Structure 1
Amino acid sequence: MMNHLALNPWKFKLSFLFTIGISFLIWEGNRYLLFTLRSYFDWFNKPVRKIVVLVLAISFYTIPITALLLVIWYNLFNAGIINWDQIKTTSLVVMICVLFITHIYETVFLVREAESEKLKKEQLERARAEAELEALKNQIDPHFIFNSLNTLSHLIEKDAAKAKQFNDNLADVYRYILQNKARELVLLHEELLFLNDYFSLLKIRFEQAVQLQIHIDPVVHDLYLIPPISLQILVENAIKHNEFSDAIPLVITIEMQHDELIIHNQVRKKILRKASSRIGLHNLGERYKLTTSKEISVRESASDFTVSLPILKIA
């Protein structure tokens, strides 16, 4: 051990500054190693390799530089009398302290990195969901226009007066689509009004061959939310895939059970020249997952087709 009282004031101050310099070099050197290794080894993908390399790198830097600087210190301030036991003990203590500080340092960094990765993932997922939802919303327009123009073309050939009435009603229906397709959710009340307007278009063409029965208490119409243009897609789907006539009408029923809308119709499959892509039903299912985080349920048998739509109750 060195007797600090034997040093003159200036030499004591220089000795103190030198020990601070030792601490500075050890700190900055290890800090440089940490940042350098961080770009090569990832805690999440290669944790074991990261620990091994980190411990080895710190050891091979900290122990030699500590011992070397202490030898220089003894030569400068202790007349070259070197206490090797003291150097070994001090180097070991410094090494333990560096490992402890590194552990704290890396833990804080790891927590921050995990939070940052989580935030980035959430932002990417949100952006992806918004992009997908926007794409699905944009599919509604061409799908609806295509079917409506087919109907209008048919009516123009058969009945000009009905074609004019259909065109007027179509404007009201399309106004709802333009106003609400950008919204993720609408009141059940609004959706049911739109459905009635849409069904009036079907009645112009098919008259008594199609029937819509809604068994929902009006009291709850303003208590629930639903993705817009959901019910219209299911009614359109039923019309497209089933045979019906005045004698044997297609009856579509809508009722509520346990915060779900149950849409049901009997199955009398229409023979289609081209197999259905079911884009409307698929579109609805994807929109539901992205908008409400819930999934629709489809149950089909030889005689019945039922879709359950979960709706969101306003808190």
Structure 2
Amino acid sequence: MKDNIDINDKLVRIIGIQFFGVVIPNATGLVNNTDRSILYLAAAYAYFMLIAFLIWQGNRLLLFKLEEKYNWFINPAQKVVMILGGNVFYTAPLVIIMLLGWYQLSQEVVDWGVIKVTAIVCVICVIFITHAYETVFLIKQRESDKVKGEKLERAKVQAELEALKNQIDPHFMFNSLNNLAYLIDQNPAKAKQFTENLAEVYRYILSNKERKLVMLEDELLFLNKYLSLLYLRYDNALSVTFNLSENDKERYLIPPISVFFALENVVKHNEISTRFPMSVEIWKRGHSLWISNPVKEKKSLEHSSKIGLTNLDERFKIIVGKGISTEHSHQTFKIELPMLPLAS
């Protein structure tokens, strides 16, 4: 998602519009200062400054719109075509129409040669100025990316500190090892599977902690390994339902371990037992992944600073361009994780 970049070009526009409104008519022969009254020249230059204003403002607005929609680094050829096409097909017709209006007002004979030359000169000037704007955009984008990178690094350090509590949570490890010890005595086959899944969980966490985005399909495959541990921990008291098509899984990117955090949040804050079974639902709506669970708050909650969800929200804002959102009622808790669609 692209950041909105502000360009303070007010002074440049004021000077540029007046400059081109005077220079171009003289250079192309539209205005001949010989034997012309001051009133005529004032009206002429005012009219051509109006044309310069419409050309500049129109192309500026067009460029800003295209800047929001197209990215040099993703599809440069398409952006070049759209910008040049917009410059030509907006500027040339506008110049021709406005010059015909000028000939009508001044009651002079229409000179199509002068109109043609003026239109070409205006288009060339517009392309030159657009290039200058794009250069400024790229410089500011680089500065913005640098600040964004520094912010991401700060958030990463904070997130990694919290990861020691969330990714390798002592209670989670304690329960996992207890379950493993029990299974070794009671069911060696399950103990082996449990160990393999536990290893897969931490292998995924360690191998993806440096990455910004992963395929949704890979994230959900990891999640199944993690869920196998939870199912052994809670028996039949926990169920997780996925309402996602295979096509959806292959079409989206998501920050790694984000769904893990969302499920850990469910486990951490809710009572899960045979008396209070927990049913979690995961589905896609729009370009977001939703996780929903009934609220069954633990009677005795550990102190929580909510840093986990805060860090998750910060990661999404920086990487995806949109933070997570939650919906909390007495009956249900929902969390929305925005995703990035793959370019088709």
2:256 paired residue number: 228
Q: CA deviation at 1:137?
A: 4.2
Q: Which amino acid aligns with 2:319?
A: T
Q: Which amino acid aligns with 1:288?
A: F
1:155 paired residue number: 179
| In the alignment, structure 1 residue 298 sits paired with structure 2 residue 326 | yes
3-state DSSP of counterpart to 1:265: strand
Return the match for 2:167 from 144, 163, 185.
144
2:204 paired residue number: 176
Separation in structure 1 between the aligned mates of residue 180 and residue 270 of structure 2, nearest angstrom: 23
Separation in structure 2 between the aligned mates of residue 213 and residue 117 of structure 1, nearest angstrom: 45
The verdict on how the C-alpha distance between 1:116 and 1:187 changes in structure 2, with shifts beyond 3 A counting, is closer
2:292 paired residue number: 264
Q: CA deviation at 1:128?
A: 2.5
3-state DSSP of counterpart to 2:330: coil
Q: CA deviation at 1:188?
A: 0.5
What does 1:1-315 correspond to in 2, within 5 Å? 120=143, 122-137=145-160, 139-146=162-169, 147-155=171-179, 158-160=182-184, 161=187, 165-315=193-343
3-state DSSP of counterpart to 2:172: helix
Aligned length: 206
Separation in structure 2 between the aligned mates of residue 275 and residue 113 of structure 1, nearest angstrom: 49
What are the superposed Cα offsets for residues 110-166 of structure 1, whole Å, 9 maximum, x if unpaired?
x99999888656523422223323542453244221243121243256544466543
Separation in structure 2 between the aligned mates of residue 114 and residue 211 of structure 1, nearest angstrom: 50
Provide the aligned C-alpha RMSD in A: 2.8
Unaligned runs of 5+ in 2: 1-7, 9-132
What are the superposed Cα offsets for residues 155-209 of structure 1, whole Å, 9 maximum, x if unpaired?
2565444665433321011111111111100000001101111000001111101
Q: Which amino acid aligns with 1:145?
A: I
Contact 1:186 1:228 in 2 (8 A): yes
When Rg is computed on C-alpha atoms for both structures, the one with the higher figure is 1
3-state DSSP of counterpart to 1:145: coil
If the length of structure 2 is used for normalisation, what is the TM-score?
Answer: 0.54
Q: Which amino acid aligns with 1:172?
A: E
Q: Which amino acid aligns with 2:314?
A: E
The verdict on how the C-alpha distance between 1:189 and 1:121 changes in structure 2, with shifts beyond 3 A counting, is closer
What are the superposed Cα offsets for residues 212-262 of structure 1, whole Å, 9 maximum, x if unpaired?
100001122111000000111111111111112225420010011111111
Contact 1:133 1:290 in 2 (8 A): no
Q: Which amino acid aligns with 2:176?
A: L
3-state DSSP of counterpart to 2:253: strand
1:87 paired residue number: none
Contact 1:211 1:252 in 2 (8 A): yes
What are the superposed Cα offsets for residues 27-49 of structure 1, whole Å, 9 maximum, x if unpaired?
xxxxxxxxxxxxxxxxx9xxxxx
Q: CA deviation at 1:211?
A: 0.4
Unaligned runs of 5+ in 1: 1-43, 45-110
3-state DSSP of counterpart to 2:168: helix
Separation in structure 2 between the aligned mates of residue 115 and residue 247 of structure 1, nearest angstrom: 59
3-state DSSP of counterpart to 1:123: helix
What are the superposed Cα offsets for residues 9-57 of structure 1, whole Å, 9 maximum, x if unpaired?
xxxxxxxxxxxxxxxxxxxxxxxxxxxxxxxxxxx9xxxxxxxxxxxxx
Q: Which amino acid aligns with 2:146?
A: Q
Contact 1:137 1:182 in 2 (8 A): no
The verdict on how the C-alpha distance between 1:208 and 1:182 changes in structure 2, with shifts beyond 3 A counting, is same
The verdict on how the C-alpha distance between 1:144 and 1:113 changes in structure 2, with shifts beyond 3 A counting, is closer
The verdict on how the C-alpha distance between 1:239 and 1:118 changes in structure 2, with shifts beyond 3 A counting, is closer
Separation in structure 2 between the aligned mates of residue 194 and residue 239 of structure 1, nearest angstrom: 17
Q: CA deviation at 1:273?
A: 4.8
2:19 paired residue number: none
Contact 1:152 1:167 in 2 (8 A): no
The verdict on how the C-alpha distance between 1:225 and 1:270 changes in structure 2, with shifts beyond 3 A counting, is same
